């Protein structure tokens, strides 16, 4: 299947990855419907920051993933569904877990029910590397045990199994894409890389961070977006769970030092205890095995390894340092 000429619904299109994916789909010649979260300000999230020529080619549908009727209406007439809408901030899930069940689990159910009833050709459901918890072995394959170390990850585990159950029970054409830690322009400051960059860009000399020892497999957003397209277009991917990762791990501390070095700033990293997860909730190590993605879809990360990470940061840092973008971020507070 090729996405060119297909009518594609992107849920969560107003978010970080969703906006980049929407942009890519338009460039590929897909007919894109963007499901964005309704609000009285008529804000369409990051869709509003895309080039005007791109925006004019997007059919924007304001709704709520928790509303089954709205989801069904948005999906009507679509061939492919790329489901990204979710609550993803881990700290917020500690004190508002109900919202995560409603959005991540019930929202996914709404997507699957509508996709089944409407007979869509393909559904790609977005998972997260957080479902693996702290690695029991590395690199992490898709057969790694799932561990719900936060309410967020627990709801994503539930959503993943629910999506696969529709494939097994009803033959709904579902694939699970499991991106590891994506970074790049437009990312929320609740994530560590924007947190570091925006504090330095705002002139701070003492950079507030949480735990520095955990490792992550960071993926530049364009690699993640290419992964979505590769999975959506691959018939062999149906019924599969597929990691999208760079097969490279680096600690948060070393990431912070690398960013400071690339920004040419002499800064000090200090512990802000409110940024620490509860000890048993912290995911200490993530490192993706991406061999299945290579084998099944042919996807290969272009920003892999230490050199690729440096190149990705070199494309990310200037975006956040641009004053018109930096103004979106409140660098003096802890963003949960």
Phi/psi of residue 155, nearest 5 degrees: -70, -30
Euclidean distance between CA atoms 258 and 192, whole angstroms: 13
Euclidean distance between CA atoms 217 and 227, whole angstroms: 15
Euclidean distance between CA atoms 42 and 25, whole angstroms: 23
E strands along 140-253, which residues? Answer: 174-179, 181-183, 206-209, 215-216, 218-220, 241-244, 250-251
Catalytic residue selected from 92, 94, 132, 152: 152
Euclidean distance between CA atoms 288 and 181, whole angstroms: 10
Which H/E stretch holds residue 21?
helix 16-27
Can you spell out the DSSP letters for 261-314? HHHT---EEEE-GGGPPPTTT------B--HHHHHHH----SS-HHHHHHHHHH
**Edge-to-edge strands, sheet with 241-244:** 58-63, 31-37, 7-11, 80-83, 122-126, 174-179, 241-244
Residue 94 is a catalytic residue: no
CB atoms within 10 A of CB 235: 10
Euclidean distance between CA atoms 174 and 162, whole angstroms: 11
Catalytic residue numbers, as ranges: 152
């Amino acid at each position: 299947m090729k996405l060119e000429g297909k009518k594609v619904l992107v849920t969560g299109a107003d978010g970080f990855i969703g906006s980049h994916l929407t942009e890519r789909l338009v460039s590929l010649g897909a007919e894109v419907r963007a499901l964005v979260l309704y609000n009285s300000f008529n804000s369409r999230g990051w869709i509003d920051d895309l080039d005007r020529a791109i925006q004019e080619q997007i059919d924007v549908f304001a709704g709520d993933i928790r509303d089954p009727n709205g989801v069904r209406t948005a999906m009507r007439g679509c061939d492919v569904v790329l489901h990204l809408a979710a609550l993803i901030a881990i700290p917020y899930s500690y004190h508002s877990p109900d919202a995560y069940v409603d959005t991540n689990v019930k929202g996914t159910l709404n997507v699957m029910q509508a996709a089944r009833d409407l007979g869509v050709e393909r559904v790609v459901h977005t998972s997260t590397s957080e479902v693996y918890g702290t690695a029991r072995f590395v690199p992490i394959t898709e057969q790694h045990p799932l561990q719900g170390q936060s309410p967020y990850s627990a709801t994503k585990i539930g959503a993943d199994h629910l999506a696969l159950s529709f494939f097994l029970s009803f033959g709904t054409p579902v694939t699970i894409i499991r991106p590891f830690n994506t970074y790049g322009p437009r990312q929320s400051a609740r994530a560590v890389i924007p947190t570091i960059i925006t504090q330095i860009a705002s002139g701070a000399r003492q950079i507030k961070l949480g735990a520095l020892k955990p490792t992550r497999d960071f993926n530049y957003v364009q690699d993640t977006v290419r992964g979505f397209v590769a999975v959506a277009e691959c018939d062999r991917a149906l019924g599969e769970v597929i990691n999208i990762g760079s097969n490279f791990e680096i600690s948060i501390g070393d990431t912070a030092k690398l960013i400071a070095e690339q920004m040419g700033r002499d800064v000090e990293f200090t512990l802000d205890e409110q940024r620490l997860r509860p000890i048993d909730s912290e995911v200490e190590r993530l490192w993706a095995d991406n061999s299945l993605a290579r084998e099944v879809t042919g996807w290969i990360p272009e920003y892999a390894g230490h050199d690729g990470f440096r190149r990705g940061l070199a494309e990310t840092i200037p975006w956040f340092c641009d004053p018109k973008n930096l103004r979106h971020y409140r660098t003096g507070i802890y963003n949960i």
